Amino acid sequence: MLKRSWCCPLTLGGFAVASLALVLMLRPIAPPSIAALRSEPAAVAVPALPPGATVLLAPDPGSALSLLDAAVQAPLRAEIDSACRVPVLLALDGRRRSDPRRDPALAELKRRCAKLPVPSLHVPMEETRAPIHERNPSAIDALAALRAAQSSDELMSAWLDAYVSRALPQHQIFPDGRRLLPGEAEWLMRAALDVRECERARACGADSLITLRVCALHGCEPGSDLRMAYHEALAPRDFEALLAILRWLKSIEKA
DSSP string of 75-135? HHHHHHHHHHTHHHHHHHTT--S--TTTHHHHHHHHHHHTTSPPGGGS--GGGGSPPGGG-
Give the residue-averaged pLDDT of 70-87.
Answer: 92
Greatest alpha-carbon pair distance for the chain in Å reads: 132
Q: What is the mean pLDDT of residues 32-43?
A: 48
For the segment 155-176, what is each residue's pLDDT rounded down to a tens digit? 999 999 999 999 999 999 999 8
In angstroms, how far is CA 61 from the centroid of its own chain?
15
Candidate from 10-14, 212-216, 237-241 with smallest mean pLDDT: 10-14
CA pair distance 25, 102, nearest whole angstrom: 76
Domain boundary assignment for the chain: 52-117+191-254
C-alpha span between 189 and 221 (Å, rounded) = 23
- pLDDT single digits (tens) 107-120: 999 999 999 886 65
pLDDT of residue 141: 87
73 to each of 14, 46, 48, 57, 157, how far by Cα in Å?
87, 24, 18, 15, 20
pLDDT band at 253 (very low <50, low <70, confident <90, very high): confident
pLDDT at 46: 54
Task: Please determine, for residue 18, whether its predicted confidence score (pLDDT) is greater than 60.
Answer: no
Average the pLDDT over 49-66 and give the result.
94
* Residue environment code for 181-198, b if the CB has 16+ CB neighbours within 10 A, otherwise e: eeeebbebbebbbbbbbb
Q: How far apart are CA 141 and CA 147, in angstroms?
A: 10
Q: Cα(25)–Cα(81) distance, rounded to whole angstroms?
A: 78
What's the pLDDT at 139? 83
pLDDT band at 134 (very low <50, low <70, confident <90, very high): low
- State the pLDDT at residue 45: 54
State the average pLDDT over residues 45-72.
89
Give yes or no for a contact between 168 and 144, defined as CB atoms under 8 angstroms apart.
Answer: no
Mean pLDDT calculated for residue range 189-207: 96
